[in-house]
């Protein structure tokens, strides 16, 4: 079957709002290392890793062996009504790694489900339905998580089980504080937080939920220490802090194992997903014991923390730690940032290059200013694909190219990606720039 045939069938039976990349969407049928192969036999270097999920890359022997060992037992599913050894052992490790004192862990199937659970715990513990979130944030596609998502492009409904107030601090490149120094930016955002608490809430707020680096919003990086200052304000009112580590966890930022560590603060609740399963569906919530145990109703998770997913996660965690992939992310991320900034210096279509570790965003603009150019991002997406590189796209205006390769990336692959990105950005710079000429 050809890709056009599959695309036609996809459009007939799947929702129109289910996004597909590329003017001619591809089907990935094979993969190894950091490379994937489509149904036409074309091979690509993958710089988006299944939306940051394939942290180790593809066909990793250690993960494959762990899955096979679990398959050989015949037990793929039992539910949380029974003891699951893999689940208990993984929870013990993650609780310790979290740094949260006296932590407990609840496993889910995704980041969306993890964030839904975190919001339920926080609102129940605080007996309040008021939540603070950051502008331009994204926390998932379920009812409450859509309700706290501060990005109109991903907010399907204004209906919500929580009352949300949005604060500044996520998207630094644009907004009223964009030209501030780090210290002045933090001070302005803290002042805004206090003002929002005073003017838009009744005071008894349940929690603030924040991504240490905004993912879907365009890999926006706030100054280190911002959330530490936020936490001081929150603590004055007894408000919980939830760190959404779905994209920033497991060492991807290079500097720290968890993104929030850059801010010198331990959150009350953390959520995780994506990379720890290396392709298997798993997510979860980590919280202090009294918060996790605050529910007074029965609950289960039919598939959360199932034997197969937790076996894969344990093997992935072993590999991440044994091979010190956090250091690899730091080293190669810095190399990519330097190279991309050189590309940006040569091409006015690049408005901003930002990121940490292997989590990097290129914000593309109309040359000669800072007006967002979704067209330029679309050109880069297509041009990189035609040259054998897969990248992501996002941002409030759809104009940010997102780079998040597997954390096993090699130096040679980083150089290959920089070469392709340089060529693709040059095409976007030329085409978008020419479209702005007066005779056009």
Q: Evaluate whether 274 touches 426 at the Cβ level (below 8 Å).
A: no
For residues 379 and 21, give the distance between their C-alpha atoms in angstroms, rounded to a whole number.
Answer: 12
* Residue 433, pLDDT score: 84
Per-residue pLDDT of 140-169, as tens digits, reads: 999 999 999 999 888 888 889 999 999 999
Which residues of the chain fall below pLDDT 70? 1, 437-440
Which pTM value belongs to this model? Answer: 0.96
| Helices 61-72/307-322 angle, 10° precision | 150
User: Hey, what are 104's tokens?
Assistant: 């407990």
* Residue 156, pLDDT score: 86
User: Hey, what are 260's tokens?
Assistant: 């929030």
> How far out from the chain centre does Cα 77 lie?
28
* Residue 360, pLDDT score: 98
| Dmax (CA) of the chain | 71
- Calculate the alpha carbon distances from 327 to 264, 321, 360, 406, 407 in Å: 19, 10, 16, 13, 9
**Domains, the chain, ranges and CATH?**
3-59+324-435 (3.90.1150.10), 75-322 (3.40.640.10)
- Calculate the alpha carbon distances from 298 to 108, 114, 122, 186 in Å: 16, 18, 17, 42
For residues 342 and 196, give the distance between their C-alpha atoms in angstroms, rounded to a whole number.
Answer: 39
* Residue 440, pLDDT score: 44
């Amino acid at each position: 079957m050809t890709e056009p045939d599959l695309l036609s069938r996809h459009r007939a039976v799947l929702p129109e709002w289910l996004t597909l990349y590329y003017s001619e969407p591809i089907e990935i049928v094979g993969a190894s290392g950091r490379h994937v192969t489509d149904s036409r036999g074309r091979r690509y270097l993958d710089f988006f890793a299944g939306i940051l999920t394939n942290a180790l890359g593809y066909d990793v022997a250690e993960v494959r062996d762990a899955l096979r060992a679990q398959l050989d037992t015949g037990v793929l599913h039992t539910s949380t009504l029974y003891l699951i050894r893999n689940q208990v052992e993984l929870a013990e490790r993650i609780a310790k790694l979290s740094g949260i004192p006296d932590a407990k862990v609840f496993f889910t199937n995704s980041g969306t489900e993890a964030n839904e659970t975190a919001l339920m715990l926080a609102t129940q513990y605080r007996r309040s339905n008021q939540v603070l979130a950051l502008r331009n944030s994204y926390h998932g596609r379920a009812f409450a998580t859509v309700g706290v998502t501060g990005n109109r492009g991903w907010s399907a409904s204004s209906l919500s089980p929580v009352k949300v107030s949005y604060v500044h601090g996520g998207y630094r490149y644009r907004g009223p504080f964009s030209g501030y120094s780090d210290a002045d930016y933090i001070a302005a955002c803290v002042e805004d937080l206090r003002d929002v608490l005073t003017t838009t809430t009744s005071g008894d707020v349940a929690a603030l939920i924040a991504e240490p680096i905004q993912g879907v919003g365009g890999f926006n990086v706030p100054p280190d220490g911002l959330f530490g200052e936020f936490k001081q304000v929150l603590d004055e009112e007894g408000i919980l802090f939830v760190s959404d580590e779905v994209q920033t966890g497991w060492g991807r930022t290079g500097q720290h194992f968890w993104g929030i560590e850059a801010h010198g603060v331990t959150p009350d609740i953390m959520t995780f997903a994506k990379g720890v399963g290396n392709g298997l569906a798993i997510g979860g919530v980590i919280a202090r014991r009294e918060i996790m145990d605050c529910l007074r109703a029965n609950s289960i998770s039919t598939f959360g923390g199932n034997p197969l997913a937790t076996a894969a996660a344990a093997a992935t965690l072993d590999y991440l730690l044994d091979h010190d992939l956090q250091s690899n992310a730091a080293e190669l991320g810095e190399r990519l940032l330097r190279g991309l900034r050189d590309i940006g210096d040569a091409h006015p279509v690049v408005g901003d290059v930002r990121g940490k570790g292997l989590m990097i965003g290129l914000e593309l603009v109309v040359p000669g200013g800072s007006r967002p150019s979704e067209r330029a991002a679309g050109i880069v997406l297509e041009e990189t694909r035609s040259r054998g590189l897969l990248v992501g796209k996002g941002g409030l205006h759809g104009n940010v190219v997102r780079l998040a390769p597997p954390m096993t990336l090699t130096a040679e692959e980083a150089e290959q990606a920089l070469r392709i990105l340089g060529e693709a950005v040059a095409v976007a710079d030329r085409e978008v720039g020419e479209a702005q000429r007066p005779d056009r």
